[in-house]
């Protein structure tokens, strides 16, 4: 019984941690191009506009607010209850 309870507690903490991390990604300052010279098409959430927008990412010095796919940005930042 103790093992099962401990497992449930650990799983619950993991789920809460993942949820909190994903929420912070959307609340973080939007990533900018940065000083590096790469050219990746990425997505960021603009909280003031409640909108995901694409930008060219240079490959370094990003914030947590950066997504490879528009669908990831929308799914994490525009889904009900994430704002």
pLDDT band, very low/low/confident/very high, at 74 (cuts 50, 70, 90) = very high
Please tell me the chain's helix, strand, coil percentages from 3-state DSSP, rounded to the nearest 5.
40, 20, 40
pLDDT band at 3 (very low <50, low <70, confident <90, very high): low
SS3 of 78, please? Answer: coil
Q: Name the pTM for this structure.
A: 0.67
What is the number of helices (H) and of strands (E) in the chain?
A: 2, 2
Q: What's the token pair of residue 9?
A: 């507690």
Which residue is it, tokens 């050219």?
39
Q: Which CATH number fits domain 2-77: 4.10.410.10, 3.40.140.10, 3.40.50.620, 3.40.1160.10?
A: 4.10.410.10
Q: How confident is the model at residue 55 (pLDDT cuts 50, 70, 90)?
A: very high
Query: Which pLDDT belongs to residue 25?
Result: 86
Check pLDDT > 90 for residue 20.
no
CA distance 20 to 69: 20
Give yes or no for residue 51 having a pLDDT over 60: yes
Give pLDDT, residue 5: 66
């Amino acid at each position: 019984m103790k093992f099962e309870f401990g497992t449930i507690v650990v799983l619950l903490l993991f789920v809460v941690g993942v949820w909190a991390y994903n929420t912070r990604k959307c609340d973080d300052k939007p990533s900018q191009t940065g000083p590096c010279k790469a050219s990746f098409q990425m997505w960021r959430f603009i909280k003031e506009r409640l909108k995901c927008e694409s930008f060219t990412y240079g490959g370094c010095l990003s914030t947590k607010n950066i997504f490879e796919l528009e669908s990831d940005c929308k799914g994490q930042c525009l889904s009900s209850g994430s704002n």
